[in-house]
Homo-oligomer: A and B are copies of this chain.
Amino acid sequence: MSILVVGSVALDSVRTPFGEVEEALGGSATFFSVAASFFNRVRMVAVVGEDFPPEYLGFLRSRGVDLQGLQVVPGRTFRWRGYYDYDLNDAHTLETQLNVFEDFRPAIPEEYRDSEFVFLANIDPVLQSMVLDQVRSPRLVLCDTMNYWIENKREELLETVSRVDYLLLNDAEARQLAGEPNLIAAGRKLLEMGPSRVIIKKGEHGVIMLGEGTFFSLPAYPLESVFDPTGAGDSFGGGFLGFLSREPEMTEESIRRAVVYGSVAASFAVEDFSCRRLSALTREDIEARYREFMEITCF
């Protein structure tokens, strides 16, 4: 089953209490693809500038990512510079250079339009809708978003949300989009907006998934040190859709297992800067942590 991601590829400069990196490989489409690559090939639609380091392209190819939809255009690649304090929950942005990302219009190559699993990473909801106009009949569309779009493009976002299958957001975004402080009640409100599932990421507190008549709650993997939280949510998406795209059927059980694989990917992603930890993994590492999740949650 084929997977398509539309999102950003970026050069991230990040500082945390544990170190810093300059112009490391980042972006939502990147983290998603690398996490999903342990399960399946990913077709990537994104844009970079002509300054994009060839070794990063080589790295993505080595992960089996299909780059036919990656536009390389004149100009500079999207750059983000930020830092995290000790609580590591809030990213503080120092500088955002949209550069070539400013004029990004997702063009889905003909060969990608039959994609069965689609991840709409966190981009302008108008662009997300544009993607939906181009894909034929995906089995599952998973959609991410962020506070900026909730505040500034609420109507457009609601339109997109009404067209997707699963909505993925963090707890603050869920409360904000639903206009409801209680997270469970917020999740129920979001379900009424169209998606059949709402997956709410709670960082160090794990993740909950709501659906019609079903509720799943998974704690986070217990990490003694979180190195850099950048990309955790997109890595979750990659583990989630990657696993699910290989399942013969989408059952309650397989969807829950996908949430665990998403959490496994996210827990690895935050253990180092950029994709370093993810790219050093084997599938067996992933399975071992999956078994650890079973061990720490069973009763």
- A219 contacts which chain B residues (CB < 8 A)? 206, 208, 217-219
From A295, which residue of chain B is reached at the shortest CB distance? B215
Q: Can you list, as one digit per residue, whether each of A159-191 has a CB less than 8 Å from chain B (1) or not (0)?
A: 000000000000000000000011111001000
Most buried by B among A185, A220, A224, A260: A224
Judge whether A105 is part of the interface by a CB distance below 8 angstroms: no
- A206 contacts which chain B residues (CB < 8 A)? 205-206, 217, 219
Interface size on A, residues (CB 8 A): 34
Q: Can you list, as one digit per residue, whether each of A251-277 has a CB less than 8 Å from chain B (1) or not (0)?
A: 001001101100000000000000000
Judge whether A204 is part of the interface by a CB distance below 8 angstroms: yes
Whether B260 contacts A215 by the Cβ 8 Å rule is no
Judge whether A216 is part of the interface by a CB distance below 8 angstroms: yes
Whether B181 contacts A86 by the Cβ 8 Å rule is yes
Whether A208 contacts B222 by the Cβ 8 Å rule is yes
Tell me if A's interface is mostly helix, strand, loop or mixed: mixed
CA of A294 to CA of B217, assembled, Å: 10
Minimum CB–CB distance for A259 against chain B, Å:
7
CA of A182 to CA of B86, assembled, Å: 9
Whether A223 contacts B299 by the Cβ 8 Å rule is no
From B184, B204, B205, B217, contact of A297 by CB (8 A): B217
From A226, which residue of chain B is reached at the shortest CB distance? B182
Point out residues on A near B: beta carbons under 8 Å: 86-87, 181-185, 188, 202, 204-206, 208, 215-220, 222-226, 253, 256-257, 259-260, 294, 296-299
**Chain A to chain B contacts (Cβ below 8 Å), 26 pairs:** A87-B181, A182-B225, A182-B226, A184-B222, A185-B225, A202-B205, A205-B205, A206-B206, A206-B217, A206-B219, A208-B219, A215-B222, A215-B296, A216-B297, A216-B299, A217-B219, A217-B220, A217-B296, A218-B299, A253-B299, A256-B298, A256-B299, A259-B299, A260-B299, A294-B299, A297-B299
